[in-house]
Structures are given as structure tokens and as C-alpha cells.
Chain A
């Protein structure tokens, strides 16, 4: 079965600093989702990547999919306290669209102001 490993497990950054979160899959990634979660709440959809080499940006968050390495990265530029939360990557487990997602354990981000 497919497994996703996220690194780091947690990080604390000073407001204004850049940071990167990585998600590595044990199998080929056919689709990779990034979500943000505040403690005790639901998941907020950030971005979905499907093609190798694809890169998407939303405000100060950029995600890339390196299909060859079975890895995705999430980069936040000039972090703000509003970026704090848990970032989760989720992968489509097979080629069928609309199928279940397998998630990593999450990366806890704290931003010090």
C-alpha cells in the first residue's frame, strides 16, 4: 500500500522567513493534494498537482510535484502568523480519479511574530 512521509514533523519559524515542507511517496504519485488544517477543525484545500514537474502557486504558497522522485514540496514565502497550522499531503492511491486519498502524518507549523 502507498505511504506518504512528511518532513519535517514540525517546525517553528520567525515571521517573514521562508520555509519548505516535503512529502515523499513510497509509490508513484498520480495526484498529490495539499491541505491545511487548524487544530480540531476540518481540512482546507490548498492545491492539487497531477503532472510531473507541475508547479502551482496561491498567494505566498507554492507547491511542486517531482514525479521522478515521487516527491512534492510546499514552499511558503515570507511566512505570517496566519500560515500557522498543520499541513497535510494526500495522494491518490491509484489511477482512478475520485478515489480515496492516502495522507501523510502532517507537518505542524508555528510562526513566531
Chain B
């Protein structure tokens, strides 16, 4: 399977705990995006990377959120001191200038904060 993969697929945690999600983009895709989706809404942009550089962060990304893409390949999204409002589907997408920057999405990580 050469698509975007995300782990874990589901995460249940207690309020106040830290969680980390991983995204593996399509091989050689230089851009990687994180989005968040709540029930009944479309995805909302969080941040994106070009190679290892984080180029933009949304206002949605509070200081409890941090994202990294250390070697320009996989990326991690960490949420510290989780709150119930963080419960959502976290989606990762990747794209390449060789494919017209079409964004291909992974299956998502569903986070439930109790």
C-alpha cells in the first residue's frame, strides 16, 4: 500500500494526558498537511510542512499542539494536556508538485478525550 498511513487509527485518552499521532505520507511527497475534523463539519487546516520546514500554522493550533517532520518524511502531531474539546478526527494529507499538488488523505486518527 503506497497511500498515506496514520497511526493509531483510534485513541481514547483521559483529559490532561498527552497524545501523539503519526503520519507517513506518500513516498517522495514533499508537502504534508494536518487537518482536524469534527462531526458534521469539513476538515479544518491545522498546519503544513514543505519537506522538514513548517510553513504555516493555523490559529486553531494552540500552544498545546506541536507538529514535527524531522527528516522531511513522516510527521508527528502531539497534543499536550488534552481537553474534551480536542476530541475529533485528525487527518493527514500529502502532496507533490509533480502531481499538481493534489492532496491525498490518510484514513485519519479518531481521538476521544474522556
B-binding residues in A (CB < 8 A): 4, 33, 35, 40-45, 48, 88, 90, 97-106
Point out the residues of chain A lying under 8 angstroms from B45, CB to CB.
Answer: 100-102
Q: Using known A-B contacts A98-B97, A98-B101, determine if residue A41 contacts B107 with beta carbons closer than 8 Å.
A: yes
Point out the residues of chain A lying under 8 angstroms from B44, CB to CB.
Answer: 103
Bits for B83-113, please: 1 = Cβ < 8 Å to A, else 0.
0000001010101010011111111101000
- The docked-state distance in angstroms from the alpha carbon of A98 to that of B110 is 25
Closest beta carbon of chain A to B21's beta carbon, Å? 13
Cross-chain contact A41 with B108 (CB below 8 angstroms): yes
Q: List 6 A-B contacts (CB under 8 A).
A: A42-B4, A43-B91, A98-B95, A102-B45, A105-B41, A106-B42
A-binding residues in B (CB < 8 A): 4, 6, 31, 33, 35, 40-45, 48, 50, 56, 58, 89, 91, 93, 95, 97, 100-108, 110
A to B contact number (C-beta, < 8 Å): 63
**Further 14 A-B residue pairs, CB within 8 A, beyond A41-B108, A98-B97, A101-B43:** A33-B103, A40-B89, A41-B107, A42-B106, A44-B105, A45-B103, A88-B43, A98-B101, A100-B56, A102-B45, A103-B42, A103-B43, A104-B42, A105-B41
Q: Which of A40, A45, A103, A105 contacts B102 (CB 8 A)?
A: A45
Point out the residues of chain A lying under 8 angstroms from B93, CB to CB.
Answer: 43
- The docked-state distance in angstroms from the alpha carbon of A97 to that of B41 is 24
Closest beta carbon of chain B to A49's beta carbon, Å? 11
Closest beta carbon of chain A to B94's beta carbon, Å? 10
Q: Which of B35, B48, B89, B102 contacts A48 (CB 8 A)?
A: B102
Cβ-closest chain A residue relative to B107: A42
Q: Using known A-B contacts A98-B101, A103-B42, determine if residue A42 contacts B91 with beta carbons closer than 8 Å.
A: yes
Q: Using known A-B contacts A98-B95, A105-B41, A106-B42, determine if residue A40 contacts B103 with beta carbons closer than 8 Å.
A: no
Cross-chain contact B97 with A45 (CB below 8 angstroms): no
Closest 10 CB pairs of A and B: A103-B42, A100-B45, A98-B101, A43-B105, A42-B107, A42-B105, A97-B101, A42-B108, A98-B31, A103-B43
Q: Which of A4, A90, A100, A106 contacts B48 (CB 8 A)?
A: A100
